[in-house]
Amino acid sequence: MNRRSDLLTNLDWLSIGMYTLLVLLGWLNIYAAVFDDTHSKIWDVTQQYGKQMLWIGTGIVLAGVILLTDSKFFTAFSFVIYGLTIGTLVAVLLFGIRVNGQVGWFELGGVRVQPAEFAKFATALAIANVMSRHGFKMMRFSSLLQVGLLLAIPAGLILLQPDTGSALVYGSFLLVMYREGLHGSILLLCCITIALFIFTLLYSPLAVFGIIIGGALLAFLYYRQNKQELYRILIFLVFCFVFGMFLRWLLKLPVSDNRLLLYAYLLTNIVGVFFVYRRKMKQILLVILASWLCIGATITVDYVFEKLQPHQQDRINNLLGIETDLTGAGYNVHQSKIAIGSGGFLGKGFLEGTQTKFNFVPEQSTDFIFCTVGEEWGFVGSTVVILLFMAFILRMIQLAERQRSDFSRIYGYAVACILFFHVAINIGMTIGVAPVIGIPLPFFSYGGSSLWAFTILIFIFLRLDANRLQVFS
């Protein structure tokens, strides 16, 4: 009895209240998105809102079971849970059903379950277990290898379905690793790689080459404010460029083929390495090595892009403005922006959204549920929903920081980062600032697997937090 009363006292009821509010708001928007006058009863299980009520009810039971479970269970059995989840990801590839071109669901008695959603909390538990071990050093190669494998296995299996959106969620763990000691330069390198990928798709290799040189100069200026050395590196980079232009003229390559400039840059850098080594100019050496990595990333962009699915290529091209296809790949986002824009400042009102009511936006109850928020609740309602999500994520971070256990803190940051990734990308893709990768908006998008997975993810952390006062190291 004392244990149960302690649990009720130590639970973070503010987080539970925000969770409950988000779930209720999500259900209201699902009801609005698929509302049918002939099926207006909220408990009609033939409709999505009726089914979602069942998912919510069972989710509450699931949350209760988690809260009544000893918190040590999640620490002790984290790898067992991770292993079982990996097993389901393998099994779904062999025995799962195909939905929208993806083999990612089990169907049991008419109910579909998506293992990829549950793999997120299982991976978070495994990562927290490894990173909280005594002697773990984030920047040690063996430690990075362990964490990398734990992330790569589920992400790789999910890519085989193929479900690129769910696989990309595992990139959010980089933020967890950064909090636990990952060097900021690695995070910066990832951001630069993404930027170069975008620049290479938008601009010619020659322009990207100029961007890399400019970035190298800015980096050098940041680390060393020495004019003489700056002049030397500037002369060296200009020499690389001129040498590449000379080779292109000598070999009579067409003006549109600028790849040789990149290769010439690499060759002349070899000479630069010896030049730097003899004069011990470490700053220039770092700039050269960094530029090599950038050039390598640029050269591989075409290969990576060609490996994407055709519809994914079309979505990226539409997002970047390379192509404009408002009736094909860009149709969903175009209609979503129309729906959100038509809501104005205060919205059209509950169940009054014309874009929603007449099904102009595909997947409006799942991936594009936010367009219903924008149309019916307007700018004010959309802002309230976004602020509520932000408050909830910040609360997760606040709870994580007060943990005495490393395991609980790391897991708490994983919860916050996964939620942030889902919210930022889902809302971003509905307003046209992020690629359409098909990930749900937590608590709002229709689906039992998503709701259950986020419920498990959050309530495990709330159970760990409730036990924080009993942890002494």
Q: What is the mean pLDDT of the chain?
A: 80
Residue 351 tokens, joined: 């169940």
**Is the peptide bond prior to 162 cis by the omega test (within 30 degrees of 0)?**
yes
DSSP 335-348: HHHHHHHHTTTT-S
Interval 19-32 mean pLDDT:
93
Q: Beta strand 97-99 with 102-108: parallel, antiparallel or unpaired?
A: antiparallel
pLDDT per residue over 365-375, tens digit each? 888 899 999 99
Q: How far apart are CA 53 and CA 33, in angstroms?
A: 15
Q: pLDDT tier at 118 (50, 70, 90 boundaries)?
A: very high
Q: How far apart are CA 352 and CA 346, in angstroms?
A: 12
- Taking 60 as the threshold, does the pLDDT of residue 250 lie above it? yes
Q: How far apart are CA 362 and CA 311, in angstroms?
A: 15
Residue 218 tokens, joined: 């800015």
Give the side-chain half-sphere CA count within 13 A for 121: 20
3-state secondary structure 7-33: HHHHCCHHHHHHHHHHHHHHHHHHHHH
Q: How far apart are CA 49 and CA 26, in angstroms?
A: 10
What is the chain's alpha carbon radius of gyration, rounded to the nearest angstrom?
A: 26
Q: Who wins on pLDDT, 114 or 34? A: 114
Q: How far apart are CA 125 and CA 407, in angstroms?
A: 8
Strand partners of residue 108? 111
| Other residues' Cβ atoms within 10 Å of the Cβ of residue 106 | 16
Q: Are 425 and 437 in contact (CB under 8 A)?
A: yes
The whole-model pTM stands at: 0.83
Strand partners of residue 98? 103
The per-residue b/e assignment along 304-334, b for 16 or more CB within 10 angstroms, e otherwise, is: eeeeeeeebbbbbbbbeeeeeeeeebbebbb
Question: pLDDT value at position 255?
Answer: 47
Contacts of 463 (CB under 8 A, 6+ apart): 66, 67, 69, 71, 74
Question: pLDDT value at position 25?
Answer: 95
Dihedral angle over CA of 148, 151, 153, 157, nearest 10 = -140
Q: How far apart are CA 277 and CA 280, in angstroms?
A: 5
Q: Which of 8-17, 34-43, 314-323, 354-363 has the lowest mean pLDDT?
A: 314-323
Q: Are 388 and 18 in contact (CB under 8 A)?
A: yes
Q: How far apart are CA 120 and CA 173, in angstroms?
A: 10
Residue 249 tokens, joined: 């003229």
Strand partners of residue 111? 108
Question: pLDDT value at position 34?
Answer: 84
- Taking 80 as the threshold, does the pLDDT of residue 120 lie above it? yes
Contacts of 217 (CB under 8 A, 6+ apart): 230, 233, 234, 237
Beta strands in 253-321 (DSSP E): none
Interval 273-278 mean pLDDT:
52
Interval 329-347 mean pLDDT:
83
- Taking 70 as the threshold, does the pLDDT of residue 29 lie above it? yes
Residue 358 tokens, joined: 């007449």
Q: Who wins on pLDDT, 111 or 460? A: 460
Q: Are 364 and 372 in contact (CB under 8 A)?
A: yes
Residue 211 tokens, joined: 């961007």
Question: pLDDT value at position 432?
Answer: 82
CA-to-CA separations, 366 to 217, 224, 326, 369, 428, in angstroms, rounded: 46, 51, 21, 5, 15
Q: pLDDT tier at 362 (50, 70, 90 boundaries)?
A: confident
Question: pLDDT value at position 37?
Answer: 72
